[in-house]
Structure 1
Amino acid sequence: MPEPEFSVLGVRIERWTRSLTRAGQVIVRDGTLSLLRSDGALIDSAPLDAVTTGRPWFAGDGRLVARLNGTRYSLTAPEPGDGLLETLRGAHG
């Protein structure tokens, strides 16, 4: 398996008000964004071109919203400034 182009551990992943994991992983590999639970199970994945991202105006640093395959996920990075939002936005050009 090739090395990921970008990876962040310890990401809180929520779908609406439901927490899916408090220590998940976000991986960008071969042009695909994957959201994984803390046990490594796949939550969702989609090609980067099909992923939309944004940062809610009320959210603090390190928090963003990503829409994969029509499902909205809230992602909170363990440390603000880890490059998660910049990487996902940069992938769109």
Structure 2
Amino acid sequence: MSDIDVLLIALGVTMLAVSIPAIIRPNMLHKQSVRNRDARLLEIEAGAPETYFEEKRELEAYTPRYNPSNRTLRAFGVVGLIIGSLSIFWGL
């Protein structure tokens, strides 16, 4: 077994470890940015100082930068699952 084979197997296992949760529970990844924004808005309304100019206005006006749908996350998970499986297969 060469070094390349070990790297392919390690890549495949890593890809599977990341892809399977994205397929099973995408809502945990999807809602994280929304939860962070809402929590920060509550902190600012409770009196916490803004970290930059007009942070509150930006949080209220714009959606989170990374806010993919569950379908998109599942699609990325399936692609990762395929790539991970192929990497393990090629590594063996």
TM-score range (shorter-chain normalised) is under 0.3
Please identify which structure carries the higher strand content: 1
Please identify which structure carries the higher helix content: 2
TM-score of the two chains, using structure 2 as the length reference: 0.22
Larger Cα-atom Rg: 2
